[in-house]
Amino acid sequence: MEAWRFFKKTLRLVVSGGPVYYGWCLFLICIVVVAFRYYLYQLDQGLIATHMRDQVSWGMYIANFTYLVGVAAAAVLLVIPAYVYHFRPIKEIVVLGELWAASSIIMALLFVFVDLGRPDRFWHLIPRFGWLNFPSSLLAWDVLVLNGYLLLNIIVPVYMLVKLYYGKEPNRRLVVPLILVSIPWAVGIHTVTAFLYNGLAARPFWNASILAPRFLASAFCSGPAMVIVMFQVVRRISYIKIEDSALFKIAELIAYAMFLNLFLLAAEAFKEYYSDTIHLASLQYLYWGLNGHRVLVPWIWTALGFNVSAFLLFLIPRTRKWLPTLNLGCLFIITGVWLEKGPGFVLPGFVPSPLGEIYDYVPSQLELFVSFGVWALGLLAFTLFMKVAIPIERGEFTHTGRGRPSTAYAIPDSEAQ
């Protein structure tokens, strides 16, 4: 009964908001509805409604999946400074970061779901009910670690928020180990995702040891950049205190991650171009075109330009500590890493095909709309999470109904930076 009352209260919270909130939610819901109709068409016609074919059998959906797993792993970047280095300004927003990680994982799992040929058979993946090919298949590993990560990033914030709602202190002995375990787990989800590509000897573009480190480096760029943007939105609309210094610290860490990402790219390029075997073909296709097939070339160079620009913007303290350039850098990184890690990673793996064929995959309209729909659903989920989480954090939404600023996260002014 108490659960129902709590749920009713959160429902009431979620449906009451200003015009901007309604406008944003309605906008997202429209996209979801349109996308769902496209998805139904895909279910009816089969995956032939996409532009994926035998030659390039993974496309826009899996590209987005790869990117979003990286974004979800970025929660780690917030957690480490807060809990390992006791950097106070970040501590208060950890819960919001974890809810963003949960939303990202939801989107990633949805992208896999819409990519499946037989989603009605997804229960075959459940251990004991189906037959999960663990530990042989890396996809089986991914199913387990991604769902575990989702559980972790739902349970911990929900627990903290519910405790806050009742005005109680969270049991640190329960929560801190879970938060600390999410650090290696976040590294784990992205390593497993990298390994699922890495282990395929049939695809020389992916069969490189550099994959897992590169994935982690680019994940630590894109995820936190989204978080920086998101928290500026959050603090504007909800007056929750998020210090500028927190944002600048995150940006500094992104700069180091982007340096690593660019260095690893250079290492890959050296190996392929200097050794000059036939396996150079995939990288060649991506950056310069192969036999006149140049469909990815402008995109990848845009990505490189964005990444390098963002790196410089975050490295130089002047531009890092000025919000307009900081945000420009974030935009560059979010787009640049998406291009490089999504289509710029998945598609060249299939070109040339194992028998030397080149097929220029370009997503179909259906795939684009379904992808927008999944993103919209994730953003909607995050918006709803925030609609409940922020009032709880600010102490406005409590069990007693009396507005009282919560003490759990308050930082005494003398300590605040």
Residues forming the site for another protein (CB under 8 A):
1-4, 6-7, 45-49, 51-58, 112, 115-122, 124-125, 130-133, 136-140, 143, 162, 166, 196, 199-203, 278, 281, 349-350, 352-357, 359, 399
Shortest distance (Å) from residue 382 CB to another protein: 21
Which of 296, 233, 213 shows the shortest CA–CA distance to 100?
Answer: 233
Residue (61 or 306) nearer to another protein, CB: 61
Residue (279 or 321) nearer to another protein, CB: 279
Which of 250, 263, 235, 260 shows the shortest CA–CA distance to 320?
Answer: 250
Residue (17 or 199) nearer to another protein, CB: 199
DSSP structure class, residue 407: S
Shortest distance (Å) from residue 165 CB to another protein: 8
Shortest distance (Å) from residue 143 CB to another protein: 7
Shortest distance (Å) from residue 413 CB to another protein: 32
C-alpha dihedral sign at 342, 310, 299, 279: negative
Residue 138, Cβ neighbours under 10 Å: how many? Answer: 19
Shortest distance (Å) from residue 124 CB to another protein: 4
Structure-token pair, residue 249: 């610290």
Task: Evaluate whether 376 touches 111 at the Cβ level (below 8 Å).
Answer: no
Shortest distance (Å) from residue 173 CB to another protein: 16
Shortest distance (Å) from residue 282 CB to another protein: 11
Residue (139 or 237) nearer to another protein, CB: 139
Side-chain-side CA neighbours of 255 within 13 Å: the count stands at: 19
How far is residue 60's CA from residue 293's CA, in Å, rounded to a whole number? Answer: 19
Which of 239, 166, 234, 161 shows the shortest CA–CA distance to 402?
Answer: 166
How far is residue 224's CA from residue 221's CA, in Å, rounded to a whole number? Answer: 6
Helix 138-165 vs helix 172-198: crossing angle, to nearest 10: 160
Residue (155 or 229) nearer to another protein, CB: 155
Residue (56 or 333) nearer to another protein, CB: 56
Shortest distance (Å) from residue 322 CB to another protein: 44
Shortest distance (Å) from residue 187 CB to another protein: 22
Residue (294 or 399) nearer to another protein, CB: 399
DSSP structure class, residue 54: S
SS3 208: coil
Shortest distance (Å) from residue 330 CB to another protein: 32
Residue (49 or 217) nearer to another protein, CB: 49
* DSSP run (H or E) holding 145: helix 138-165
Phi, psi of 290 (to 5 degrees): -130, 120
Residue (149 or 314) nearer to another protein, CB: 149
Structure-token pair, residue 134: 């663990």
Task: Evaluate whether 253 touches 217 at the Cβ level (below 8 Å).
Answer: no
How far is residue 395's CA from residue 163's CA, in Å, rounded to a whole number? Answer: 12
DSSP structure class, residue 125: G
How many residues does this entry show for the chain?
417
Residue (127 or 317) nearer to another protein, CB: 127
SS3 16: coil
Task: Evaluate whether 133 touches 144 at the Cβ level (below 8 Å).
Answer: no
Task: Evaluate whether 95 touches 144 at the Cβ level (below 8 Å).
Answer: no
Residue 267, Cβ neighbours under 10 Å: how many? Answer: 14
Residue (170 or 199) nearer to another protein, CB: 199
Shortest distance (Å) from residue 43 CB to another protein: 9
